[in-house]
Amino acid sequence: MKTFTKTLFAGIAASAMIAGAATTAAVAMDYKGKTVKIVIPYGPGGTYDKYGVAFSNHLGNHIPGNPNIILQHMPGAGGAKAMNWFANVAPKDGLTLIVPLDNGVTNQLMRPKKMRYDARKFTWLGSSNQTNVVMVVRTDSGVTKLEDLKTKAIIGSTSGKNSSGYLNPMLIQGLFDYKIKMVTGYKGSSKSIFAMEQGESQMAAFNWLAWASKVPHWFTGDKPFARAIAQVGIFRDPDLPKSVPMINELVTDEMDKKVVGFLSVAGLLGRGLALPPGVDKDVVATLRAAYDKMNADPAFAAELKKRKLRLIPSTGAEIQKVVNDSVDNASPAVVKHARKLIFGGES
């Protein structure tokens, strides 16, 4: 996993230069008068949707012909419905994109009977953010630190068993034998967080931007409504206090460490765009160049900042390598152990 991390972040610093090179190499495809659709695998309001809106507002400015770009929300099965549709049904003409699941690789390997796609066959255009999954609890739950879950039971809310909001809390439960119960069926992070606010649940686990952009007031004042108690990722989230522990720093068993590293790769995939399998290579070149130029555009950065979203850019080639290496190098033993910890052996 460290190899993947170094590869990705070494390229981030050079993104602007790569963008210029990609633009020169791209074979122009004229999109004039056409409409491009971006599929969002969850309902409106979450960070997938917010990044998707920003993409739709700026990507077309860098595509030859300046096409119209629209969004289509396709929630269901923790995002798996959209991913399966995208791999097997979506048109391959370069007019249909997806904001892919950051845990798409994890799901593919752990739940092969449910995931009818191979993430390596998607063509990744790039990413505009990398982030950890952060477990947040209501302060009135009585949980002040992660270890409290050894004796205090807690109920969490999320969309489905394929979502990072389910996988990561259940991984933590499996690793430490904590008392966590997840309730599924909520349509994305917004509905899951609202369930916490309404008292239907006491915990949820999403990327920090979901929390910071939707409910920043929860974490301020003398008596905050909620607190972060754990994070899963390759690196510490720069916006969180150092007191919020990284799960990879708490495990000691070697196999457990590999499983945590396996799931942590999802954070590197972040929020970006991908094409379905089989799209013409010239179209790929055009859209990858456009994505790189968008990431380097100050207007795009300004909109993300306005929406309280971060810009940590990486190219399509970098993300493609992370995905391919993650799938190719995943040990069957690690995948089996991860499945056991999270699903109790269920596939």
pLDDT digits (tens, 9 = 90+) for 149-177: 999 999 999 999 988 999 999 999 999 99
Q: How many CA atoms lie within 13 A of 307 on its CB side?
A: 23
Rounded to the nearest angstrom, the gap between the alpha carbon of residue 55 and the centroid of all alpha carbons in its chain is 15
Q: Identify whether the C-beta of residue 165 lies closer than 8 Å to the C-beta of residue 159.
A: yes
Whether residue 333 contacts residue 255, with contact meaning beta carbons closer than 8 Å, is answered with yes
Structure confidence at residue 248 (pLDDT): 94
Phi, psi torsion values for 280, nearest 5 degrees: -55, 140
Q: Are 92 and 285 in contact (CB under 8 A)?
A: no
Mean pLDDT over the full length of the chain: 90
* pLDDT at residue 16 greater than cutoff 80: no
Beta bridge partners of 72: 39
**Do 87 and 116 meet the contact criterion of CB atoms below 8 Å apart?**
yes
The DSSP letter of residue 183 is E
pLDDT class of 28 with cuts at 50, 70, 90: low
Mean pLDDT across the stretch 123-144? 95
Phi, psi of 131 (to 5 degrees): -160, 155
Task: Give this prediction's pTM.
Answer: 0.77
Q: Residue 143 has what pLDDT?
A: 97
Query: Which ranges of 248-297 would DSSP assign to H, the alpha helix?
Result: 254-264, 266-269, 281-295
Residue type at 199 in one-letter notation? G
Higher pLDDT: 3 or 65? It is 65
